Amino acid sequence: MATKKIDAKGKKKNKEPMHIGLVKNDPYLQPYEEAIRGRHDHALWKLNQLTKKGHRSLEDFASGYDYYGLHRTSRGGWVFREWAPNATEIFLVGDFNDWQESEKYQARRLAGTDNWELRLPKNAMKHGQLYKMHVRWNGGEGERIPAWAQRVVQDDETKIFSAQVWSPEEEYVWKKRAFHPKKNPLLIYECHIGMGQDAEKVGTYTEFRENVLPRIAADGYNCIQIMAIQEHPYYGSFGYHVSSFFAASSRFGTPEELKALIDKAHQMGIAVIMDIVHSHAVKNEMEGLGNLCGDPNQYFYPGDRHEHPAWDSLCFDYGKDNVIHFLLSNCKYWLREFRFDGFRFDGVTSMLYYSHGLGEAFTNYADYFNGHQDDNAICYLTLANLLIHEVNPEAITIAEEVSGMPGLAAKFEDGGFGFDYRMAMNIPDYWIKTIKELKDEDWKPSSIFWEVKNRRPDEKTISYCESHDQALVGDKTIIFRLIDADMYWHFKKGDENEVARRGIALHKMIRLVTAAAINGGYLNFMGNEFGHPEWIDFPREGNGWSHKYARRQWNLVDNQELCYHWLGDFDRKMLEVIKSVPAFQRSRVQEIWHNDGDQVLAFMRGDLVFVFNFSPTRSFTDYGFLVPTGSYDVVLNTDAKEFGGNGFADDTITHFTNYDPLYVGEHKEWLKLYIPARSAVVLKKN
């Protein structure tokens, strides 16, 4: 749309269009500005509706967990409420009434609503007892776990899940009252509580707090991203088939033990974000929301959109206010009750498109604005970001999204979705493809450099070489792609063969070039920093319900006789170097040089110069780069002996630039280095 202004002669003339911020930042989006404004206006309309035209905040709206579910009353009794529009009768059954229906435990429908309520005296139930709803509807009945249950446990023998009355005499007392996440840059350690220990069993919140958090702090990460927190029936789902959205998984311990973990992390300066799953839900009816009260579509889309075709799960109906209320309340619950510092939203691509992104190429901007997008889901994600940052302005939100939807991590006022970061999912795909398909001699520094910094300039990203996705059975981690079975026989110091030496060198280089080019944050999955061997395979019938591959063998990195500690030590030093530059992620990435023939790349950030020689065979003496005049000291070298390298270069000497009269006005001189084959070095300007 254009506006009018008056010129010097008093005539009206067209002024430049007042583009929305997203389009201002990317003129190629101009043909789709109407669609972008439409999405923005839709979110504003829904926000206005939910907040009653601003008479209450979005945070006030998202307080369903205080109303629904089982709670103590101010007088010490109990109140239970559930949204169950299709129910005809609801009873609570449990340890307190021998699992038998009785009039005392029968809920009643509140007049003029779809809500059911049951009020009970203090002695009607007690902390620790198990219970469920027995729901009747026209044509059927069944036992169900309440949708808003905040504690769900599984019987060790029968494997049946039940809700649990949870009202300990003493509430958890937080030791760290206020916490402010460090984001300069955000260094994320992706982790899983259950597999976070050496023993072949399910680990606990307490074990993680005592044994793993100190490792993460010592390694230099300032944020943990915890998977599988929301209760899920099948352990092997990695937490992605959620049944009870408000219950912290009891297989790892109690809610208080999870709070103690988060509290301890905050005391150590580590932010805690949760891998939240709002993209789908488990199909199970006994444990989940699949058929809570005789209506399979109560929470989920009807018809062809009901089930996810690839995930064997159910798809939320984001067009229903009650579903939005449920999910927004879920976001607020984890922020308020457990003091999580934010979320990584899983499966965002699946939410955005009617096709769930399956079979889509996404080759041009038209693919993002062709009418195949779920405007309800887009609206929900936008509201979720507004809510989260209303509850905690310092909160961290990350979108796991593979299609490249523009504006995902752009500000809401600019027409974006409001995420703080998006996952740079192109990078691990690139490394897998490169390692699988190209000989070492064909690795091109220009392609590597383009890929690790390929992002929208107005959106921050979380860069990573590999996450848990690449560690699962059926895939391979980078270290296994590089070394494979030789890790079993040639990873003792002194016994390395050429395959192992190559893998150790490239593992470090791949991580360094990825982390050095970040514009927001960097992520690593636990254990991958030291090249954890083997895949992740959760207990299942096919492996005899073994936990052997669902653990982390910390003993390997602790053993100074093995090569793993070289990789772990390098990762720690790499993060230390990155953090030595204030606001590293905001410093400009300045290319100094690349030569695909030599396989050499050099770039600068702040006072740091990063130099890579990807050639497997050629070392270079006095290889020159034009850099700002001065002296430079080596602060990190992948080829150093302390990191399993050859130690060919003398890193103790200071490098002085060499005068060149051709570049006097540019204040640049030649920095000449010896760069061994398959190595990288980082220098800091004095």
Q: Which residues are marked as active site? A: 346, 400
Q: Which residues contact 98 (CB under 8 A, 6 or more apart)?
A: none
Pairing of strands 600-605, 608-613: antiparallel
CB-CB contact of 469 with 427 (8 Å): no
Q: Which residues contact 54 (CB under 8 A, 6 or more apart)?
A: 48
DSSP codes, 358-399: TT----SGGGGSSS-B-HHHHHHHHHHHHHHHHH-TT-EEEE
Cis, bond preceding 457 (omega within 30 deg of 0): no
Question: And the tokens for 21?
Answer: 């911020």
- Closest listed residue to residue 212, CA positions, set 232, 194, 230: 194
Phi and psi torsions of 567, nearest 5°? -70, -40
Cβ burial of 541 (10 Å; 0-12, 13-18, 19+) is exposed
- Closest listed residue to residue 642, CA positions, set 548, 529, 508: 508
Residue 230 half-sphere exposure toward CB, CA atoms < 13 A = 30
Rounded CA separation 365/368 (Å): 6
C-alpha distances out from residue 684 to 385, 580, 629, 681, Å: 38, 10, 12, 10
CB-CB contact of 272 with 266 (8 Å): yes
What is the dihedral sign for C-alpha 417, 418, 423, 426? Answer: positive
DSSP codes, 257-293: HHHHHHHHHHHTT-EEEEEE--S-EE--TTTSSTTTT
- Residue keyed to tokens 């309440």: 146
C-alpha distances out from residue 217 to 195, 210, 274, 414, Å: 18, 12, 18, 36
Residue 572 half-sphere exposure toward CB, CA atoms < 13 A = 16
Rounded CA separation 635/682 (Å): 6
Cβ burial of 653 (10 Å; 0-12, 13-18, 19+) is exposed
CB-CB contact of 87 with 116 (8 Å): yes
Question: And the tokens for 179?
Answer: 């916490």
User: Angle, to 10 degrees, between the axis of helix 375-391 and the axis of helix 321-337?
Assistant: 30
Question: And the tokens for 686?
Answer: 């004095």
CB-CB contact of 629 with 668 (8 Å): yes
- Closest listed residue to residue 553, CA positions, set 272, 198, 203, 265: 198
Question: How is the beta sheet containing 69-72 ordered, strand by strand?
Answer: 69-72, 78-83, 115-120, 108-109
Question: And the tokens for 382?
Answer: 């936008």
Rounded CA separation 524/21 (Å): 32
- Residue keyed to tokens 């005391």: 267
The 10 Å CB-count burial string (b at 16+, else e) for 316-354 is bbbebeebbbbbbbbbbbbbbbbbbbbbbbbbbbbbbbe
Q: Which residues contact 99 (CB under 8 A, 6 or more apart)?
A: 93
* DSSP class of 318: T
